[in-house]
Structure 1
Amino acid sequence: MPMQADEIETMIRAAIPDAHVEITDLAGDGDHYSARVVAESFRGMPRVRQHQRVYDALGGRMGGVLHALQLTTALPS
């Protein structure tokens, strides 16, 4: 069963409480999403580590329940 956008957002916010999260369903199928995650707690982290934090927040669902996630991370402006 595909994941819902609000479930993805909830999981990310639970793991990264200061995150502002925007989820977009790219294909309308609940399987292909884009996520923009902006968090002050990313400061000082390389982009790879920022992405790892988001993937860790999804608890191993990437590649299984969640087929594709186009991820962008950033610091607040």
Structure 2
Amino acid sequence: MPVSLSDLEAAIRNAIPVAHLEIDDQSSGCGENYAVLIVSEAFEGKSTLARHRFINEVLKAQIAQMHAFSQKTFTPKQYEAYLQKSS
């Protein structure tokens, strides 16, 4: 069963305070390949691995139904720096 973008968004927003969220269905709408970018102060003081493990646990049921899942996780300060580098 395909995973919907709204299901992913609801699961993430219910688990942590989100300052910015981007969800990209990279499977042309079939719901089997998603990339997410999450900005939250809840990531402060956590390593990238700890952040990814946390999100993997939050989305455990959804990820089990996907072919592929990738994530970028930032604190608000890190996201500002990321945007500066990108422009």
1:22 deviates by: 1.1
TM-score, normalised with respect to structure 1? 0.87
Unaligned ranges ≥5, structure 1: none
1:43 deviates by: 0.5
1:54-65 matches, cutoff 5 A: 54-62=55-63, 64-65=64-65
Aligned residues: 75
Equivalent residue number for residue 47 of structure 2: 46
Equivalent residue number for residue 70 of structure 2: 70
Equivalent residue number for residue 21 of structure 2: 21
Unaligned ranges ≥5, structure 2: 81-87
Which amino acid in 2 is paired with 1:59? K
Cα-Cα RMSD: 1.3
Equivalent residue number for residue 10 of structure 2: 10
Deviations for 1:9-58, whole angstroms, at most 9, x for unmatched residues?
11011111x12321001121210111001101101000000111111111
Equivalent residue number for residue 32 of structure 1: 33
Sequence identity (%): 31
Q: Secondary structure at 1:61's aligned position in 2?
A: helix
